[in-house]
Amino acid sequence: MDRIVFLGTAGARIAVFKQIRASGGIWLELNDTTILIDPGPGALVKSCTSKAKLDPQKIDGIFLSHRHLDHSADMNVMVEAMTTGGLKKRGFVFLPSDALGEEPVLWKYARDYVEKVITLREKKTYNLKNLKIHTSRKLIHSVETYGARFQGGKTISYIPDTRFFTELYKDFKGDILIINVVRKDISEYEHLSLEESKEIIRKLKPETAILTHFGMTMIRAKTWVLAEQLKEELGVNVIAARDGMQYKL
């Protein structure tokens, strides 16, 4: 079954570190391939306790958009889960080069547990089982950051944390668009706002756009109400992700 399960929908400091929403990242099953995207704090707990019956030992790959803790805290935990604590050497890990440098996200001993560690570069295509992963150009965030399109039958695009720029939408054409909308209002922070996300959705016109990774301004304004407004305004199916939500493709 092709599906997306949201192991968390929190973004940025307060929503994540007070666990106002969960923060385990995005579980994607597509074309008989399972990939975990941005395993933030709680990824293991949220996958093992999910009503969607998710088995971390079946994960084929882990994709990290960038090294910030709300995206990466459970990286080593999930590598251990995927490899049964290193007993079964398997799985691919995709991550930016600065996640392997000083203060690495993926610890050295854990690199031997997986089949392959792949350093992401901009605008490249990588293979994972039956999926093709196309990275975006380097995004504008305080650390090295890439979005991606996961292609296998359908194409699922993922825009992680970034400052808005006019060309941004160009790397994210696909059937389903997942977009990290941290803030309701435009600000100097290197995160997308609702208004900027609206522009991106308007340009891309996906079949469905799913908003996630919410900060407090989005949560207070009721994410589902904001999504409904965008839907009416744009004529595109827009959904606000909820913790544990399963979206069947």
Interface residue list for Zn ion (CB under 5 A): 68, 161
Query: What are 246's strand-pairing partners?
Result: 5
Write the secondary structure of 15-27 as one string of H (helix), E (strand) and C (coil): HHHCCCCCEEEEE
CB of 68 to Zn ion, least distance (A): 4
CB of 67 to Zn ion, least distance (A): 8
Judge contact between 162 and 168, C-beta under 8 A.
yes
For Zn ion, the closer of residues 37 and 54 by Cβ is: 37
For Zn ion, the closer of residues 25 and 91 by Cβ is: 25
CB of 11 to Zn ion, least distance (A): 8
d(CA 179, CA 11): 11
* Assigned token pair, 151: 């292609």
At 85, is the secondary structure helix, strand, or coil? coil
CB of 239 to Zn ion, least distance (A): 22
For Zn ion, the closer of residues 68 and 184 by Cβ is: 68
CB of 122 to Zn ion, least distance (A): 17
CB of 246 to Zn ion, least distance (A): 25
Q: Phi then psi for 82, rounded to 5 degrees?
A: -65, -30
CB of 17 to Zn ion, least distance (A): 13
For Zn ion, the closer of residues 68 and 183 by Cβ is: 68
d(CA 187, CA 220): 17
What is each CA distance from 105 to 40, 98, 138, 243, in whole angstroms?
11, 9, 19, 24
Judge contact between 92 and 114, C-beta under 8 A.
yes
For Zn ion, the closer of residues 161 and 243 by Cβ is: 161
C-alpha 50 chain-centroid distance: 17
Judge contact between 149 and 169, C-beta under 8 A.
no
Number of residues assigned to the chain? 249
